[in-house]
Amino acid sequence: MRTFCYLLLISLFTSLSNASIVEETCKNISSSHPNIAYDFCVSSFQSYNATSQVADQRTLAIIASRLANSSAAKTEARIQELMDKEKNQPRKNRLDVCMEEYSNAIDELGNAEQAIDAKRDTDAQVFLSAALDAASNCEDAFAEAEEACPLETEDGEYGQMAAIALAIVAALRR
Ligand SMILES: *[C@@H]1O[C@H](CO)[C@@H](O)[C@H](O)[C@H]1NC(C)=O
Ligand SMILES: *[C@@H]1O[C@H](CO)[C@@H](O)[C@H](O)[C@H]1NC(C)=O
Ligand SMILES: *[C@@H]1O[C@H](CO)[C@@H](O)[C@H](O)[C@H]1NC(C)=O
């Protein structure tokens, strides 16, 4: 009887860990946030090998902030590339706004990661909300000039990743 219970516990634990935590979290988030795609969420965590490690919600929140951080760093590199070949000054200024936004976002994400780790979830939420704004502020800089934003793809991916981190932290607080 004891062995049976032990085995039952093990299989229960196994079924709740790894892949299913990622899948269940992504399912929860995408069902309440129409702009977060389930597949994007799962494949992002898979790229970090989060599905092959035991990951609790707090660990997933940290992984999501790191993924948002790499996305922000990748976007910065793309902005630099665009700025280097941009001759038009007003357009260069708009790219500069985006650069500033993403540079701040990287700082906020570092603060968020520390806050999540220290279980200061309210602070983490504030940092992540500020970081998330980088994507829409960058888009706005171009929208105000009625110009297509050359960073639409990057803003979209970064925005989803930052929103995933924020949603997980919001759920931690409940
Ligand atoms: C998903 O949502 C359900 C219903 O709100 C909740 O009971 C469950 O704990 C959530 N799971 C995760 C992994 O967030
Ligand atoms: C994930 O695992 C694969 C295969 O073991 C490895 O090549 C890759 O570098 C790992 N990625 C990360 C982000 O740890
Ligand atoms: C965010 O990314 C930058 C650039 O790759 C890196 O220098 C920094 O350490 C990262 N921050 C965190 C908190 O991982």
Domain ranges of the chain: 2-172
Q: Residue 94: its pLDDT value, please?
A: 97
Among 18, 49, 62, 69, residue to substitute to test ligand 2 (most atoms within 8 Å of Cβ): 49
Residue 101 Cα to chain centre, angstroms? 15
Q: Residue 114: its pLDDT value, please?
A: 98
Determine the residue type at 64: A
Q: Residue 19: its pLDDT value, please?
A: 63
Q: Residue 12: its pLDDT value, please?
A: 47
CB 67 within 8 A of CB 50: no
- Closest-CA residue to 113 (of 128, 101, 102): 128
Q: Residue 120: its pLDDT value, please?
A: 97
CB 36 within 8 A of CB 28: no
Each residue's pLDDT tens digit in the chain (174 positions)? 555 555 444 444 444 555 689 999 999 999 999 989 999 999 999 998 877 776 789 999 999 999 999 999 999 999 999 999 999 999 999 999 999 999 999 999 999 999 999 999 999 999 999 999 999 999 999 999 999 999 999 999 999 999 999 999 999 977
Buried b (16+ CB within 10 A) or exposed e, 84-114: eebeeeebeebbebbbebbebbbebbebbbe
Buried b (16+ CB within 10 A) or exposed e, 44-70: bbeebebbeeebeeebbbbbbbbbbbe
Q: Which ligand is nearest to the CA of 168?
A: 1
CB 61 within 8 A of CB 169: yes
Binding site membership of 69 for ligand 3 (Cβ less than 6 Å)? yes
| 18 CA → ligand 3 middle, Å | 25
Nearest atom within ligand 1 for CA of residue 171: 14
Residues near ligand 2 (Cβ within 6 A):
48-49
CATH number of 2-172: 1.20.140.40
CB 126 within 8 A of CB 114: no
Residues near ligand 1 (Cβ within 6 A):
21, 24-25, 28, 171
Q: Residue 50: its pLDDT value, please?
A: 77
Among 28, 29, 59, residue to substitute to test ligand 1 (most atoms within 8 Å of Cβ): 28
Tokens of 43: 């494949």
